[in-house]
Amino acid sequence: MTGVSWLDTDIPYASSVERMGLYRQPLSGFTAASDPANAAYAALWLAVQQQLSRLRTA
């Protein structure tokens, strides 16, 4: 597909990421906003939205 590429966002290996399964909540439900994993997931979601936007306009 034209305009679509692999995402290059890295999600850190962190205990807070592992706890999402334990608590069954998104990171923002039980970690501080300053947690680096929160920023990583926000960046991932932004990248997904950009890819979807490219698909819609292609």
Residue 13 lies in a domain: no
**1-58 pLDDT tens trace:** 566 788 899 999 999 999 999 999 999 999 998 999 999 999 999 999 999 998 888 6
What confidence score (pLDDT) does residue 11 get? Answer: 94
**The three-state (H, E, C) secondary structure of the chain, written as one string:** CCCCCCCCCCCCCCHHHHHHHHHCCCHHHCCCCCCHHHHHHHHHHHHHHHHHHHHHHC
Q: How far, CA to CA in Å, does 31 sit from each of 27, 44, 57?
A: 6, 18, 36
Give the chain's domain count.
1
Residue 1 lies in a domain: no
Residue 21 lies in a domain: no
Residue 10 lies in a domain: no
Residue 26 lies in a domain: no
Domain carrying residue 50: 34-58
pTM of the model: 0.80
Residue 25 lies in a domain: no
Residue 27 lies in a domain: no
| Cβ atoms of residues 3 and 50 within 8 Å | no
